[in-house]
Structure 1
Amino acid sequence: MTSSEDYVTYVMDQARGPWALRQRKMFGDFMVYVNDRPILLLCDDQTFVKIVPQLDGLMKDAACAAPYAGAKKHYILDVDDAEHVRRVLSVLEPITPLPKARKRRT
């Protein structure tokens, strides 16, 4: 099951802040990019963020699960609390690297 367009729109609205947001369909679900950094993974109408030490305080009560079979566990982000979403994004945006450019096949 994939995330619904309504859920993706809702997450994008909740994440609005002083950064550029875009979403891209991938892996059968969606990735949300914050200033071109892949930060939010949307799978089955749930939002996942990578487990990093910098989020220990903010996400201490969050549930953890694998977003898809074979994936590492991630925090499940409560997107109903827009202020919390923005705090998490403000922590993750500076520490998440930009994706490396892929070489094109010729």
Structure 2
Amino acid sequence: MASSQEFVQYAADQSSGAGRITYRKMFGEYGMYCDGKIFALVCDDQFFIKITNAGKRLAPGLTETPPYEGAKPYFLIEDLDDRDFLTEFITATCSELPMPKPRNKRKSNDTVPKRRHQNDF
């Protein structure tokens, strides 16, 4: 079951105290970013945050479970109503996450050599 747009937007709104929150549809679910770092997944209308040492220190009792079969475990955040906790938790988590590697720019079609036609010989 895919996540609803309303739930994803609510999770983003509740997380907004931690920084600039954006999200992207990924494989039928959503990846959530804070200031360019992916820190969470939204799967089946559930909010999962990457596990870090900072997260373990702040909330040692949080459930750790994979968001989908075959995935690494994430923290399952069941209470999205506590914005202060989310802000502190996401800020601490993101401070331990690396910035994403820059993506290679696609080459334009102008750099591809033109094929010779049989009549060019």
TM over 0.5: yes
Q: What are the superposed Cα offsets for residues 33-84 of structure 1, whole Å, 9 maximum, x if unpaired?
A: 1000001111111111122211112221211211011101111013222111
The one-letter code of the counterpart of 1:26 is M
What's the secondary structure of 1:97's corresponding residue?
coil
Matches within 5 A, 1:1-106: 1-17=1-17, 19-77=19-77, 78-103=79-104
- TM-score normalized with structure 2 length: 0.79
- In structure 2, the CA distance between the partners of 1:97 and 1:89, relative to structure 1 (3 Å rule), is same
The one-letter code of the counterpart of 2:44 is D
Segments of 5+ residues of structure 1 without an aligned counterpart are: none
- In structure 2, the CA distance between the partners of 1:76 and 1:89, relative to structure 1 (3 Å rule), is same
Aligned-residue CA RMSD in angstroms? 1.6
CA distance in 2, matches of 1:90, 1:79: 15
The one-letter code of the counterpart of 2:56 is D
Segments of 5+ residues of structure 2 without an aligned counterpart are: 108-121
What's the secondary structure of 2:17's corresponding residue?
coil
Contact 2:67 2:73 in 1 (8 A): yes
Higher helix share: 2
- TM-score normalized with structure 1 length: 0.88
After the TM superposition, which segments of 4 or more aligned residues of structure 1 sit over 6 Å from their partners?
none
